[in-house]
Amino acid sequence: MILIFWFLWLLFGIIALGPAAFIFFFMSRKAKQPWQIKINPNYKPKISVIVPTYNEASIIELKLANLKRLSYQENLIEILIVDSNSTDGTIEKVRKFVNENPEKPLRILMENERKGKSHALNYALSQCTGDVIVVSDADCFWPSDILEKAVPFLADQSVGAVSGPKILLNSNQTWITRMETAYLKSANALRLGESKAGSTLFFEGGFSAFKREAFEGFDLYRTGSDDCGTVVRVIEKGFRALLVPEAFFYSSFPVSFKEKLGIKLRRANQLVRLFWRYFCLLLKGKVKTTRITVVPNVFLYLFSPITFIILAFLSGFLAFSYPYLLLCLLILVVPKVRFYFYTILESNTLLFLAIFGVAIGRRFSVWNQPKDRISLSKKALSQLNLV
């Protein structure tokens, strides 16, 4: 019986960790290769920037000051603030900005009731005149030249959407934000490798740009996330979605462990639903051009967490049977080993819980504001020339 458990432990260890290690190595190598697309710095389409808001009075003035600094050709850009019936004075602050900056091409759109982020984005989309639609959350801040760095990648006919990596404003504030910074660094390397291999499969909400012809609308309902759902639509239409490393943006991250887990679980729920959608499209033969990135991600997000939990159960049984095996945990005193161990444990556990949540029909579609936005101060943003 013990031999069987050892055999199963080895088998599930290889299944759970082996492909993930190979994918990370393969995509990291791809990330270092040159782009195989047409990047045209003279490509200057008209751009519509959409910022959805709901009770953002504490930061909306900083966001508007940030958008004011954009260096993109002014007659080729419009900014739309779409507000979902805020009750904290958000829209009054936007109106004040418009009155004080009449030369800025900014429009206000208002909904009579809150119907969700995707509804707000689609309402704004119906009012846009741009050839490229750019979306940003109110608590994310752009360098002034982000559009000049990102838009040239859309000149290639195969590219339908681009995004950029997130950088934390409070990256060194606590061990939680330091861990998240390290995680984002690894995750962005993977997304860049996917982009050069074929297409990355999901975006962050801080900065994303879509060609008008590459999608028909913002889609939250199939995946629980408008960012992810819209990328699926882009890929379904045969376009590529890319992470452009130069088009980075800034945001903050909670310092509370409880809030961090809440955000991570919500995101895991969205990703499970996202990759279930990709799995269905894969079976229907509708993601042929991006199969090189879809297949490994479907395995990582849908199947690997299940095998990992089985591996954890087997490890616990063997540790109970052979207590001296717990001495192996001494390797966790090595910081880098400890980081990867914790990241793998946390990610797979949350994904497993998310798989269970999706199976019983649990959805996380309503976005809640982070409670800790202390890093989003004018002083901190000014130091980075963001306002």
Rounded to whole angstroms, the Cα distance separating 161 from 242 reads 6
Per-residue confidence (pLDDT) for residue 142, from 0 to 100: 96
Rounded to whole angstroms, the Cα distance separating 310 from 9 reads 8
Rounded to whole angstroms, the Cα distance separating 355 from 281 reads 18
The letter for the amino acid at 256 is: S
Inter-CA distances, 84 with 47, 59, 121, 130, 271, Å: 22, 16, 10, 22, 25
Averaged in consecutive runs of 10 residues, what is the pLDDT profile of the chain (387 residues)? 80 85 89 94 96 92 95 94 91 93 90 84 92 94 96 96 94 87 90 94 91 87 72 91 96 86 87 91 84 90 92 84 73 72 87 88 56 68 91
**Prediction pTM value:** 0.88
β-pairing, 77-83 with 47-53?
A: parallel
Per-residue confidence (pLDDT) for residue 116, from 0 to 100: 81
Rounded to whole angstroms, the Cα distance separating 224 from 374 reads 28
Q: What residues does each domain of the chain span?
A: 8-45+131-368
**Residue 34 DSSP one-character state:** P
Rounded to whole angstroms, the Cα distance separating 218 from 214 reads 11
CB-side exposure of 319: number of CA atoms within 13 Å?
10
Per-residue confidence (pLDDT) for residue 332, from 0 to 100: 66
Residues sharing a CB contact under 8 Å with residue 253, sequence separation 6 or more, in sequence order = 168, 170, 176, 177, 180, 260, 370
Per-residue confidence (pLDDT) for residue 114, from 0 to 100: 83
Residue among 65, 70, 30, 33 nearest 49 (CA)? 70
